[in-house]
Amino acid sequence: MTITLAQLIATGITPAVARAFLPHMATAFERFDINTPRRMAAFIGECGHESSAFTRLEENLYYTDPTRIAKMFSALRQVERARAYVRQPKALANVVYANRNGNGNAESGDGWTYRGRGLIQITGRGNYRSAAAGTGLPCEAQPDIVAEHAGATLTAAWYWHANGLNALADRWNLDAITRGINGDAMAGHADRVERCNRALEALLSMPSIP
């Protein structure tokens, strides 16, 4: 089945955003077997949470509170150290993502270059490289492509498929899907469940394209 514009809007995405994403979603869904109401609904719901209803395609690392930085990032647990990175998103990314997920050290600039982007935020040079191999997009060489509508959707669908989330969606195991995306933190669990269930209701109650 192919999702319609009316169905996508009914999932909670604004009309303008839905129109922008619909063709890319159709392409990504076909390529990565996201082809049943449950698979589509779980994808839309989880991505909707991750991206604030498909409106935020790049990680926000601009913080004004050092306590918040210390809470969010284990590399800066001491509030006094975190204070140096208030309103310094580039410096913050380079420190907290240094030597992780294929990144070099803080001086390499990889943390900022390969910060989270896309509907399911791809983070780290190694993950951008894997996304490039899985999608054919030049994600590592041109990381900003992951924050564009087409790249954001295709990389998210690749991640979804590569991590076995279609099978979990078939069983409507939303907790396991969230862990596959967010880890054990399960951040925003209630919102994710609400978005997924709303999307499933929209897909099941409205006419679709065979």
Neighbouring residues of 10: CB distance < 8 A, sequence distance ≥ 6: 202, 206
Do 13 and 80 share a structural domain?
no
Do 177 and 90 share a structural domain?
no
Last residue of a domain, one of 113, 129, 150: 113
Task: Tell me the CATH number at 176.
Answer: 1.10.530.10
Into how many domains does the chain fold?
2
DSSP class of 171 = T
Do 158 and 124 share a structural domain?
yes
Do 98 and 33 share a structural domain?
no
Angle in degrees, 0-180, between the axes of helices 15-31 and 149-162, rounded to the nearest 10: 40
Do 190 and 139 share a structural domain?
yes
* pLDDT value of residue 209: 61
Do 162 and 96 share a structural domain?
no
Do 186 and 143 share a structural domain?
yes
Q: Residue 109: give the domain boundaries.
A: 66-113
146 is a domain residue: yes
Phi then psi for residue 122, to 5 deg, are -75, 130
Do 198 and 125 share a structural domain?
yes
| Helix spans in 11-50 (H) | 15-31, 37-50
| Helix spans in the chain (H) | 5-10, 15-31, 37-50, 66-72, 79-82, 89-96, 110-113, 125-135, 149-162, 165-170, 174-182, 189-205
pLDDT tens digit at each of 210 positions of the chain? 789 999 999 999 999 999 999 999 999 999 999 999 999 999 999 999 999 999 999 999 999 999 999 998 989 999 999 999 999 999 999 999 999 999 999 999 999 999 999 999 999 999 999 999 999 999 999 999 999 999 999 999 999 999 999 999 999 999 999 999 988 878 899 999 999 999 999 999 987 765
Do 123 and 102 share a structural domain?
no
Do 131 and 188 share a structural domain?
yes
Q: 85 is written with which tokens?
A: 């990175």
Last residue of a domain, one of 75, 97, 113: 113
53 is a domain residue: yes
210 is a domain residue: no
Do 175 and 159 share a structural domain?
yes
Do 82 and 43 share a structural domain?
no
| pLDDT (tens digit per residue) in 146-181 | 999 999 999 999 999 999 999 999 999 999 999 999
